[in-house]
Structure 1
Amino acid sequence: MPEAIEPIPKEFRTCPVDPRFPNQNQTRYCYNSYLKFHRCKKVRGEDFEACQYFRKCYKSLCPNDWVSKWDEQVAEDRFPGNI
């Protein structure tokens, strides 16, 4: 007899569907979430709940290589996006 399966936590593991971004290509959604996180962090601080939402989105959508490259560029003040 199989053991009882634990319920899945109600927290989302990735971002919810956003009709502005097609499901087939999440690149824009990833980049937009990264920009929104850094803009929010600049205005409200990193611990603000809305900022954490954008952080979770870009962490789940963006490839790690992109994020590390963008973080490097932000630290060196040469990121091409408007933060």
Structure 2
Amino acid sequence: MDPKQQNALTAIGVLTAWLSEPGGGNFAADQIHDLIAEGGDEAVADLLGGLVSVAGHLLVKTARATGRSEQEVLQDLAQKYVS
């Protein structure tokens, strides 16, 4: 499997753990800590790359589904964190 694909699948695993508990819970944090313990800085970089890839795909999918641009979707998301 391509490393980028593996990184995205790892990220999806962390997001799945996040969904399994209300508010994101500790399970996702535990998974992240385990990844860091096993792979150190490289594991962190791989996870971040996977999360960015997954976020990018979801951004494009959301933009297409809503008829808005990716930039508009990002701006809307940013407003939710600023307000």
- Check whether TM > 0.5: no
Normalising by structure 1, we get a TM-score of 0.38
> Normalised by the size of structure 2, how large is the TM-score?
0.38
> More helix per residue: 1 or 2?
2
Rg larger in 1 or in 2?
1
